[in-house]
């Protein structure tokens, strides 16, 4: 059995709402509202949900790019949320991120070589020849050429820019990579190339991924396990095939019903959710999904469902399974 590399316990990230002349705090946007999960060494945990579900904020909060409000994030025996700036800087070399937008995440004033060299400089690789060798090696690993190091980001296509972003994330040989919707901005024909590259690199560099996406077909392609988020909370978690073949939560069932099937003869009942996603600043009482759930009961409107362990390493928060 693999060791647990990352454990998240009751993570919350709230953004204050200020109003009035004195800008007093009048409420909070509950972007992440009590999320708990773990990631085993070498696996890929896919995190899915609609826009606004809190999945990207969860990834950023784990890395402390966004400071969480409360909770615990344990990485290799240390709670990251208790570390000072100097200690956190030492840990950051093992924790990297691939950003969603390959156009905005690369500095247009720096050459590719400078972009890839920067993390090496920050973390103490002082030998110029070593840095140049590492940069050339990184470019070749992600399918580019060494001569690309002298070009600027605007000279590359979207897929090539994302390869540069992946190379930057690998520069310090991290253990955990948070991939924040890394293929959503790319053409469909390029998405599979980048996903296959990430899988090859995972095996080559022994990486562990937290893979965030809203496209469930993409997540199934790369994930070992899948967690489904709704309005800042996890509603289901389990092995990828089990979640796809037999979803337990009504929200997961609705998401999967929208995934196209590459078979013109195959039929699937489409579940249309009524209404819009509620506001994270004023979430519904009880189960957050109950205003849109076709199976909502009286208890769903008043009592928040517990996070319950099921057979086969699965978890669900739903009164239908209590």
Residue 268 has a pLDDT of 67
**Structure token digits, residue 12:** 């919350």
> Per residue in 104-116, pLDDT tens?
999 999 999 999 9
User: Which pTM value belongs to this model?
Assistant: 0.91
Per the DSSP assignment, residues forming a β-bridge with 210 are 45, 178
Helix (H) or strand (E) run with residue 226 in it: strand 225-230
3-class secondary-structure state, position 72: strand
CB proximity list for 104: less than 8 A, separation 6 or greater: none
Sketch the domain layout of the chain as residue ranges: 4-94+172-321
Taking domain 4-94+172-321, whether its CATH number is 3.30.43.10 is answered by no
Per the DSSP assignment, residues forming a β-bridge with 24 are 19
Angle between helices 158-170 and 112-122 (to 10 degrees): 20
Q: Establish how many alpha carbons lie within 13 A of residue 148's alpha carbon, considering only the half-sphere containing its beta carbon.
A: 25
> Per residue in 146-183, pLDDT tens?
999 999 999 999 899 999 999 999 999 999 999 999 98
> Per residue in 83-128, pLDDT tens?
999 999 999 999 999 998 888 999 999 999 999 999 999 888 778 8
DSSP for residue 101? -
């Amino acid at each position: 059995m693999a060791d647990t590399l990352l454990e998240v316990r009751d993570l919350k990230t709230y953004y204050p709402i200020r109003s009035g002349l004195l800008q007093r705090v009048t409420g909070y946007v509950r972007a992440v509202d009590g999320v708990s999960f773990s990631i085993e060494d070498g696996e890929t945990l896919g995190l899915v949900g609609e826009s606004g579900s809190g999945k990207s904020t969860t990834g950023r909060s784990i890395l402390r790019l966004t400071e969480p409000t409360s909770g615990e994030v344990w990485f290799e025996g240390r709670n990251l949320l208790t570390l000072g700036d100097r200690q956190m800087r030492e840990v950051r070399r093992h924790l990297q991120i691939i950003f969603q937008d390959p156009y905005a995440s690369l500095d247009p004033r720096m050459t590719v070589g400078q972009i890839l060299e920067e993390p090496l400089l920050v973390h103490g690789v002082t030998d110029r020849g070593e840095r140049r060798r590492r940069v050339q090696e990184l470019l070749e690993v992600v399918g580019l050429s060494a001569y690309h190091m002298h070009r600027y980001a605007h000279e590359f296509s979207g897929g090539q820019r994302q390869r540069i972003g992946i190379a930057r994330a690998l520069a310090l040989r991290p253990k955990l990579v948070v991939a924040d919707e890394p293929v959503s901005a790319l053409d469909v024909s390029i998405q599979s190339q980048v996903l296959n590259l990430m899988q090859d690199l995972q095996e080559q560099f022994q990486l562990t991924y937290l893979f965030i996406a809203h496209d469930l077909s993409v997540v199934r392609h790369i994930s070992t396990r899948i967690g489904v988020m709704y309005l800042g909370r996890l509603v289901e978690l389990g092995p990828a095939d089990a979640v796809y073949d037999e979803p337990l939560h009504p929200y997961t069932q609705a998401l999967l019903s929208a995934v196209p099937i590459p078979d013109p003869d195959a039929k699937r009942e489409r579940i249309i959710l009524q209404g819009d996603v509620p506001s994270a600043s004023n979430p519904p009482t009880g189960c957050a999904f109950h205003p849109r759930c076709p199976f909502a009961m009286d208890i769903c409107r008043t009592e928040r469902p517990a996070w319950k362990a099921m057979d086969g390493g699965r978890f669900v928060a739903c009164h239908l399974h209590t």
